[in-house]
Amino acid sequence: MTAHAGELPERTREERQAVVLRICVVLGAVGLLVARPDLTGARPVVAAVLIGLSAVYAAALGVVSVLRGRLPVPPAVLTGIDGLLALLACGLTGGVASPMVAALPLVVIAIALRGGHRLGQLVALGLGVGYTVAALLGSDPGVTVGAAVVAGLWWTGFLFATAVLTGVLVRLLERQLADIATTRARAESEHERYLSERALRDRIVSQSRARLDGARVVLHEFRTPVASLTALSADLAAGRLGGDAARRASRLLADHAAHLQDMLDGLADLAVADGSPLGRDRPRRVALAELADAVLDAAGIAAHRRHPVVEPAGAAVHCDPQRLRRMLTNLAENAARHSGDEVVELHLAHDGAVLTAEVRDRGPGLPAGQEGVVTAKGVALGERRGTAGLGLWIAEALASAMDGELSLLPREGGGLVARLTLPLAGT
């Protein structure tokens, strides 16, 4: 956790180790004085007091850091106190001959790590001067001034070299970390570029699949009107139709031609729009009774097998007739194909801003567990195998494009109910 301004840094693993190291140094000094009481010379009481204060200082740091979870003062201040205590210990335990001088390199290393190599070098020079003073004042009378100065210069150089070496090692480590960070950043950049290329490849594949879907939809949607046009034109050309039958055939020819024109317009949309095989929305007023007849005619359902119902009678809606007709024709074809000679019912109900259309048949229905599920593209449900399930997929895709919902439900007494719920912008 990052400390806020004015707050002390939280206790880290390294700070805990530094506290433990202080305690170990103090314990080592105590053990040294117990083993070599002669090191204190004529000042055993002062040395003992200093060691006692150092022990209290180290123990207090350990207790406070454990209880509060952080150091009581900034680490740099603690390092300065460590250096001062080490110099006093050197002066009280023999000066030049004091083994406590071994603690000074630890202080230099700590300050160089925390404050940088420049500060470490300055502190090393300061500690060297301080040690020289301690050597002059605390050495035995037999030690000459020259020897004390030489020892001070030696340790000053050693401490300075320690600071320099620590700085070099820190810079090497920082350089290695920077190289690792650069390598990681390069790897992440290459990974992002790979993801971008894969996304582009996926878009290309998706566009290719969309074009293939469009071709399959066109083949499926053109099949029924073209087959009907072929049969009707052949009957009219052969003179097999007359009177009302001929007029009805002519009307069907006109309806199929209009339907084909709408689909051609949809293909034009496909060429300039986003690649959807469903085309653009072209809403206009649609009389539901006329729509029901056109759907059942387009599906090729004979008069004795059809039962259209419109509620309320004479209702009209405002929507895209070509899309709505395509949806209902696919559902009616699917129902007629699997109903044998049974009647196919088409119920259209307009209630406010919602159009509910139901195509009901007496076919084999759906296996258990597939109720309410619309088939995926190219996958048939149960025994309903149409054109590889494409008809139901087209109907569901059109319903989704118009913000509607298509569901398949079991019919009471056997069969299937394909229910389309379509919101309308207006009537």
Residue 312 to residues 102, 275, 315, 320, 355, Cα–Cα distance (Å):
103, 38, 6, 20, 11
Lowest-confidence pick of 61-70, 71-80, 372-381, 389-398: 372-381
Output phi, psi for 395, to 5 deg: -60, -45
Helix (H, G, I), strand (E, B) or coil at 178: helix
User: Which token pair is 290?
Assistant: 């006329």
58/310: higher pLDDT: 310
Residue 230 to residues 215, 218, 223, 336, Cα–Cα distance (Å):
21, 18, 11, 20
For residue 275, pLDDT beyond 60 = no
158/53: higher pLDDT: 158
Q: Is the CB of residue 423 less than 8 Å from the CB of residue 353?
A: yes
| Residues 102, 106: Cα–Cα separation, whole Å | 8
346/251: higher pLDDT: 346
| The pLDDT of residue 38 | 62
56/190: higher pLDDT: 190
Band of the pLDDT at 377, cuts 50, 70, 90? Answer: very low
| The pLDDT of residue 120 | 84
User: Which token pair is 252?
Assistant: 């069907």
Q: Is the CB of residue 358 less than 8 Å from the CB of residue 366?
A: no
115-125, pLDDT tens digit by residue? 787 888 888 89
The distance from CA 153 to its chain's CA centroid, rounded to whole angstroms, is: 62
Q: How many CB atoms lie within 10 A of CB 15?
A: 17
H or E element at residue 294: helix 288-298
Band of the pLDDT at 272, cuts 50, 70, 90? Answer: very low
Half-sphere exposure for 213 (CA within 13 Å, toward CB): 21
Contacts of 102 (CB under 8 A, 6+ apart): none
For residue 387, pLDDT beyond 70 = no
Lowest-confidence pick of 313-322, 340-349, 381-390: 381-390
Strand arrangement, sheet containing 344-351:
306-311, 344-351, 354-361, 416-423, 405-410
32/135: higher pLDDT: 135
Per-residue pLDDT, averaged over 335-363, amounts to 90
Per-residue pLDDT, averaged over 251-260, amounts to 76
Question: Hey, what's the torsion of the CAs at 202, 204, 207, 211, to 10 degrees?
Answer: -130
129/45: higher pLDDT: 129
| Residues 369, 371: Cα–Cα separation, whole Å | 6
**Greatest Cα-to-Cα distance within the chain, rounded to the nearest angstrom:** 144
Band of the pLDDT at 349, cuts 50, 70, 90? Answer: very high
316/229: higher pLDDT: 316
18/427: higher pLDDT: 18
Lowest-confidence pick of 72-76, 162-166, 195-199, 269-273: 269-273
For residue 389, pLDDT beyond 60 = no
Q: What percent of the chain has pLDDT over 90?
A: 11
Tell me the average pLDDT of the chain.
Answer: 76
